């Protein structure tokens, strides 16, 4: 599928960009990449990305002002609200986790532990 290649390349470029950013931004970008489905959306990419010298980067304050205007379901909106709060510290109500579903909840929990500097807390399915 052609979109998969583009999304994969974008994910790689964003991950590369995030390597020079602080832990919060690296964690937020990792969450977006892990989710994957949101990066496939043209409208979201247009709101999220800014190009400088042909390299994409995220202007979190710009994105924060624009993603609310997108046609998002409750899970997508809640996920992006929490991801923005991880990258660009904001107070957000924790009720947003109710809308995430297991997959996105696990992604957000991993991003939170990563942004806190922990690599020892396991987030996943209990056995």
- DSSP per-residue letters across 101-121: HHHHHHHHHHHHHHHTT-SS-
**pLDDT score, position 59:** 85
* d(C-alpha 118, C-alpha 60), whole Å: 23
Mean pLDDT of the chain: 86
Percentage, residues of the chain above pLDDT 90:
43
The 10s digit of each residue's pLDDT in 33-89 is: 999 899 999 898 888 887 665 667 888 888 888 898 999 999 999 999 999 999 988
Q: Of the given ranges (5-9, 18-22, 35-39, 90-94), which has the lowest mean pLDDT?
A: 5-9
Mean pLDDT over residues 25-37, rounded? 93
**pLDDT score, position 5:** 52
Residues counted in the chain: 127
The token duo for 39 is 């990066």
Query: What distances in angstroms separate CA 39 from CA 3, 98, 121, 122, 123, one per listed residue?
Result: 10, 22, 27, 25, 23
Phi-psi category of residue 85: left, alpha or beta, with phi > 0 → left and psi -120 to 50 → alpha:
alpha
């Amino acid at each position: 599928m052609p979109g998969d290649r583009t999304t994969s390349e974008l994910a790689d470029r964003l991950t590369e960009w995030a390597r020079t950013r602080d832990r919060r931004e690296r964690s937020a970008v990792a969450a977006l990449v892990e989710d994957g489905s949101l990066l496939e959306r043209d409208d979201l990419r247009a709101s999220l990305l800014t190009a400088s010298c042909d390299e994409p980067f995220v202007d979190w304050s710009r994105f924060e002002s624009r993603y609310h205007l997108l046609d998002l379901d409750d899970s997508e909106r809640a996920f992006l609200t929490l991801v923005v709060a991880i990258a660009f510290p904001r107070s957000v109500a924790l009720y947003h986790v109710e809308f995430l579903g297991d997959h996105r909840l696990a992604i957000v929990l991993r991003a939170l532990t990563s942004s806190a500097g922990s690599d020892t807390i396991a987030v996943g399915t209990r056995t």
